[in-house]
Structure 1
Amino acid sequence: MIASILEFSVRQRWLVILLSLAACVLGAWSLTRLPIDAVPDVTNNQVQINLVAPALTPLEVEQQATVPVETILAGTPGLESTRSFSRNGFAQITAVFSPATSIYFARQQITERLIEARQMLPPGVEARLGPISTGLGEIYWWAVEYTPGHGPVADGQPGWQRDGSYLTPEGQRLASAFERTVYLRTVQDWIIRPQIRSVPGVAGADAIGGFVKQFLVAPDPAKLGGYRISMAEIAAAIEANNVSRGANFIERNGEGIVVRASGRVGSLEDIAEIVVATRGGVALRVRDLAQVENGRELRTGTASADGEEIVLGTALMLIGGNSRAVAAAVDARIAQIGHALPPGIRTRAVLNRTQLVDATIGTVTKNLAEGALLVVAVLLLLLGNIRAAVITALVIPVAMLLTVTGMVQAHISANLMSLGALDFGLIVDGAVIIVENSLRHIAERQQVLGRRLGREEQLETVIASAREMIRPSVYGQAIIMLVYLPLLTFSGVEGKTFEPMALTVLIALGAAFILSLTFVPALIAIAITGRVREGENAVIRGLKALYAPALRGALRAPLLVAAGGLALFAGAGLLFATLGQEFAPTLDEKNIVMEARRIPSTGITQSQAMQLDVERLVSRFPQVAFVFSRTGTPDLAADPMPPTQQSVI
């Protein structure tokens, strides 16, 4: 069969070249769809479940929420294991599924089980699924902060006022640092996050820092006791006066007019004017019984940058997305959003995955380009025929484009591991022996006949030369491929790390083997014309002149040479024992992550105050461009940390 393919490739050489060009076009198109990342994503197939139980202690959360949910999840199709942790008011359960299970099928199964589990959970416990992302899904972080050094605008215009307060576009004057921090979180939650969620490839937008705004009603116990009014009555009155009623519609003069009564609360003044009860014919309003003011929700995490509190947002990438493309799209959307923010407020990228990916891909591209140029230079020196060297070298870009197509179909991302293992010497190995053998046979037959070969004679010579190299070519490629096959049996983290590399190499070697049987013979039949001389060039003669004396010396003293080889092997073994070992290559993304831990009883406010001191100290180093950190757990709890633990970057 392979012999038939060889003969077809030579006889129909222009058709083979045309098909190869079509494959290159397909590879170039696949290159635009190839996911690009710095390292392979080793996260297993998992679904996170976050349980919020504000009234429960860690032991109660474990007994009344975590264990029942884990029990309900048992037996879910495709489920391999579950793990969880419980702390005060919060628990997270991670359900790990088999790699063959669709993540969307898994989430559907978990959702159905949670519906059943809600009947067993205590009142007030809320269960929700985490985003469809992975441990490497945090591709873009941005800070929402007030513009530093921004001077006051005209009084009455939105922005900083002359008295040091900040006037919002809604007309609210923010006089205290607390109010301004609350407003930053409002901007993040209501302006920025909804737009980031709409970016293709984004699974969710997380937020940490600031305060979630609330309307706070603080009843006076003395007044409640004097008027014999309970807190439940105040809550019921506020709830009853915060609704809209519809009365269908009426027709008048041919028009349908909708009738409704709007009773929605829109400000603190509206809440203060709500009537709670009457005493002696006098209406008692909320303002008569309680203090009404802006408040905040108790937070589980904070964020800061350069010693100042900020709001930190995080874009989480959808599973299987192209981190480079998604991060670039988020960056473009953040820049677009920045033009629509209130005056004096800005967004600033503090961590962009694109920078790491570009640096990694740049390193891989540089290494691959240098390797390709080195192979081409060696081919030119050793083959001694420019056209033959060009034919062999063309296998490299064509094989790479075919490899890209295979990577896209196999859902393999281009990263440091998958591309870094490619060896162009192995890729051109089959093409080299076929080209060299064809040159030799053409030169020998021309010498025997004493003339140039005719077209039919040359085609037959190329077919015979390539057929002669079928067996060594097949054996050589098969042996190399067999070396990588055991890597495909890895599972877990090892499998996710090394399987993409093995598959990429196998695809590249397979593509090169096919090209050596089709593309290379066709090009030889087209390009190798005219007189062909078979002989040793100056490089080969020089190498032989150096090698011959060494070979004769080795043959005269074989025991000494063997002993020297064993000594070198033993020395290499000793050196290998002293080498360091790393599971993955070291990546220098020019960022340093520090983790600060404090005693478990430290409160969130105290922990944040201590963190600001750490940032101010780190910022003094001249090598530090800026420093930011987050303390505690963000909204989506993709990385749930206690209030006593901080990540400083």
Structure 2
Amino acid sequence: MLNRIIDYSLRNRMLVVIAALLLSAIGVYTANRMEVDVFPDLTAPTVVVMTEAHGMAAEEVERTVTFVIETAVNGATDVRRVRSASSTGFSVVWVEFDWDTDIYRARQIVTEKLSTISDALPANVGQPTLGPQSSILGEMMIIGLTSDKTSLEELRTIAEWTIRPRLLSTGGVAQVAVIGGDIKEYQVLLSPEKLRLLGVSVHEVLAATKDMTLNSSGGVLYQYGNEFIVRGMLATKDADQIARGVVKLTDDSQPITLADVGEVRIGAKSPRLGVASERTQPAVLLTVTKQNQTSTIELTEALEHQLSDLQKSLPKDINISTDIFRQSRFITSSIDNIQRALIEGALFVVIVLFFFMMNARVTTISLVAIPLSLLVSILVLKLMNLSINTMSLGGMAIAIGSLV
């Protein structure tokens, strides 16, 4: 068989040259557009189910929430393993599928299973939600926000309501988590003496404040052939206006407001659940997680572009730092080192062949065969939906000696 291939190649030299040039062009084009990563994705298709159970102990969460979810997904199609972790007020279930399972199909299967257990969960348990679609190597960037003038409370607000939505709109981003800073909230500090004096209970205050800042509809007013939509504009960001909200009426129809029974102010949520810093300076951090089969380098460039646009609209004293952690930097450094070793190894093989065999033809054949074989290997990686990474390039470097 090999003799026939060699004989056919010798009789059709021009066809072989054209095929080699065509493979080289396609290989270079494919290599420039393939996903580049540090390691191949070693995570089986996994769907994460998260459930909040406020006020429940870990044992109760395990028995009434986690066990119910595990039982529902255990018999799902193509499920190979189910793991879980239960803590106070929170349940996490990892559902692993077979390697050849499409992740979107896996998420659909889990969603269908979860829809059947809504009645089996306790009433005070939140709806089970699916975690972001990412892998163990998905965390690709940490962004830091620092300022000398803006408070940590405002930094956290800017991070959650301005920067995070913008980053999530970038294609390939699975999740953006905000760490550190103070969470802004409107606080009503009740006075027990005033409540007792005015005859107001805490439940009455809770009922009055539940929908106090929500706009409402008042129907339609018809006048002179026109329609006027009536709206109650109650939404406000002013603590003083909230303090004027009515809790109840006295027997003589006098309003009792929040200001009469306590103090309304804007403050930081307590207790603080996390603290972040950058170079010893208090900061707010955003961790960006990418989706599967997304190029880390291309996504990093897209995020840099988004952040540069955001910087123009933020206060000038706010600094955005992207050098805390960048997976793309490690990828570029690792790939460059292996590529350099690959080129040096190929040249060393050619030099050894030339000095030991003293044959220019053999050396020329090696010079052509080595890069052509590497480009064909890249095409095979593309056809198998694999990425260019340190392991694949390392295997190519080792295979050069066997090739010659």
TM-score, length of structure 1 as denominator length: 0.58
Mapping for residues 550-561 of structure 1, pairs under 5 Å: none
Match of 1:345 in 2: 318
- 1:406 paired to 2:380: yes
* Residues 173 and 288 in structure 2, CA contact (< 8 A), matched pair in contact too: yes
Q: Cα deviation per residue 1:592-626 (whole Å; 9 max; x = unaligned)? A: xxxxxxxxxxxxxxxxxxxxxxxxxxxxxxxxxxx
> Percent of aligned positions with the same letter in both sequences?
29
Q: Could you say what secondary structure the match of 2:33 adopts?
A: coil
* Residues 34 and 407 in structure 1, CA contact (< 8 A), matched pair in contact too: no
Match of 2:248 in 1: 277
Separation (CA, whole Å) in 2 of partners of 1:232 and 1:416: 61
Give 5+ residue unaligned stretches, structure 1: 148-159, 161-165, 167-179, 429-649
Match of 2:100 in 1: 100
Match of 1:131 in 2: 132
Mapping for residues 317-336 of structure 1, pairs under 5 Å: 317-336=290-309
> How much does 1:94 deviate?
1.2
Mapping for residues 96-495 of structure 1, pairs under 5 Å: 96-126=96-126, 127-147=128-148, 160=149, 166=150, 180-241=151-212, 242-245=214-217, 247=219, 258-279=229-250, 280-297=252-269, 298-349=271-322, 350-422=324-396, 423-428=399-404
Change (3 A) 1:249 1:98: farther
Letter in 2 for 1:135: I
Letter in 1 for 2:371: P
CA RMSD, Structure 1 to Structure 2 (Å): 2.3
Question: Rg: which structure is higher?
Answer: 1
> How much does 1:340 deviate?
2.3
> How much does 1:420 deviate?
0.8
Between 322-331 and 367-376, report the one with greater CA deviation.
322-331
> How much does 1:211 deviate?
2.5
Q: Which structure exhibits the higher relative contact order, with contacts defined as CA atoms closer than 8 Å and separated by 6 or more residues?
A: 2
> How much does 1:38 deviate?
1.7
- 1:38 paired to 2:9: no
Match of 1:12 in 2: 12
Number of matched residues? 397
* Residues 146 and 281 in structure 2, CA contact (< 8 A), matched pair in contact too: no
Q: Cα deviation per residue 1:174-228 (whole Å; 9 max; x = unaligned)? A: xxxxxx2221111110111111112222111111112322111122222222222
Match of 1:452 in 2: none
Change (3 A) 1:22 1:194: same
* Residues 34 and 414 in structure 1, CA contact (< 8 A), matched pair in contact too: yes
> How much does 1:252 deviate?
7.5
* Residues 33 and 408 in structure 1, CA contact (< 8 A), matched pair in contact too: no
Separation (CA, whole Å) in 2 of partners of 1:192 and 1:248: 39
> How much does 1:373 deviate?
0.4
Letter in 2 for 1:214: E
> How much does 1:247 deviate?
3.1
Q: Could you say what secondary structure the match of 1:105 adopts?
A: helix
> How much does 1:307 deviate?
3.3
Separation (CA, whole Å) in 2 of partners of 1:210 and 1:306: 15
Letter in 1 for 2:22: A
> How much does 1:142 deviate?
1.1
Change (3 A) 1:302 1:13: same
Letter in 2 for 1:79: V
- 1:26 paired to 2:26: yes
> How much does 1:381 deviate?
2.2
Q: Cα deviation per residue 1:99-128 (whole Å; 9 max; x = unaligned)? A: 121111111122222223332222332222
Give 5+ residue unaligned stretches, structure 2: none
* Residues 49 and 130 in structure 1, CA contact (< 8 A), matched pair in contact too: yes
Mapping for residues 472-621 of structure 1, pairs under 5 Å: none
Match of 1:594 in 2: none
Q: Could you say what secondary structure the match of 1:218 adopts?
A: strand
Q: Where is the strand percentage greater, Structure 1 or Structure 2?
A: 2
Letter in 2 for 1:129: L
Separation (CA, whole Å) in 1 of partners of 2:365 and 2:227: 80
